[in-house]
Amino acid sequence: MGLALVKDDRIARCNEAFAQILGYASGEMPGQSTRIMFGSDAEWNDRRAVGSRHFADGQASVAELELVRKDGAAFWASIEAQALDPQHPGTGIILALNDITARKRAEQELLASLLREKELNELKSRFVPTVSHEFRTPLSTILSSAELLRLYPDKLDDNEKLNLLTGIEDATKRMRRLLDEVLTLGRAESGVLRLRPTQLALSELCGKVVHEFCIGEGKQHTIVLEDRFDRETAELDENLLRHILNNLLSNAIKYSAPGSTVRLSVERADGNVRLTVEDSGIGIPPEDQPRLFESFHRASNVQNRQGTGLGLAIVKKSVELHGGNITYDTRVDAGTRFYVTLPLQPRASAAAA
């Protein structure tokens, strides 16, 4: 424990521990203003005012607060000030000082852990009803179509059979995609999802993804690829990049009217890959924007459109693993534009994630 005698806001004498805690040699301390312990004049004046009130009531002034060492480094300390004569504090004040940085750090880590546990519990409580609901529709489609094919094989013509089989196929794909979203998010939340970059033919991959949407869930929309990327390859994780493109394009299609245009542009900007996905759909209400990337959150204007609220959470995780960022512009009933920026080469911290 560091101990010091203070008179007229100056350190008269102190023990070795007091000087060491503040990063000084004991010989440097006598005559120093107590201001050296604080990060600003405002903090110093506040603590002196609080101490004066306590001394006037005959009490010690006890606090836990951030102080600064000689080198300017901040640290957490418990400090107790006791006037030798409460009626005349100017006669001297005894300061007792302890470095509690390790305890404060442990408290903060524990609090973060508890908050994380609370978030996971909330996530679990939302997971079961959401996923159960999303599985129910495709399962019903599969069961009803299979039953019709089993009961009426001779009464259904070829087109009717093909439509039922296509329905089963689409429902199966939807369930597989839902499972993939859930597993991907679970891996991201548990820290298991890793960045595995390779030299990727970016323009070719974007073209493949757009083609898949054109013959699949986006066949009622016009999907335009604007490819302005001027390099053959970029060092990206193909699996994570597909999560980014698939979810952003799927949302653009889902939340815009059939017949409208969805655009994906890819270009190089300031040494980064820049992807832009634009639609002219329902937009995102201002009250939903702060929670846009939270798991299971869905905007208030989605009405009866299917979805789990996992897509954008996965997109953000995938972007962050690359060391990139995602922003957006949106207007209700006028559309949304998402901007994804990814480094052409993964930063060291991202690659090590």
pLDDT for res 114: 82
Domain 198-351 class in CATH:
alpha beta
pLDDT band at 349 (very low <50, low <70, confident <90, very high): very low
Q: What is the pLDDT of residues 223-260, one digit of tens each?
A: 999 999 999 999 999 999 999 999 999 999 999 999 99
pLDDT band at 124 (very low <50, low <70, confident <90, very high): low
Of 312 and 141, more confident: 312
Q: Say what percent of the chain tops pLDDT 70.
A: 93
pTM of the entire structure? 0.59
pLDDT for res 98: 93
Rounded-to-integer distance, Cα 312 and Cα 256, Å: 17
Fold of the CATH domain 107-189: Helix Hairpins (1.10.287)
Domain boundaries, the chain: 2-99, 107-189, 198-351
- Token pair 């000689």 is found at 70
Residue 264 has pLDDT above 90, yes or no: yes
pLDDT band at 133 (very low <50, low <70, confident <90, very high): low
Domain 2-99 class in CATH:
alpha beta
Rounded-to-integer distance, Cα 327 and Cα 14, Å: 54
pLDDT band at 130 (very low <50, low <70, confident <90, very high): low
Rounded-to-integer distance, Cα 353 and Cα 347, Å: 10
Q: How far is CA 285 from each of CA 27, 257, 308, 329, 337, rounded to the nearest angstrom?
A: 63, 17, 18, 11, 14
| Residue 308: both structure tokens together | 């789990």
Rounded-to-integer distance, Cα 26 and Cα 19, Å: 5
Out of 46-55, 305-314, 329-338, the most confident range is 329-338
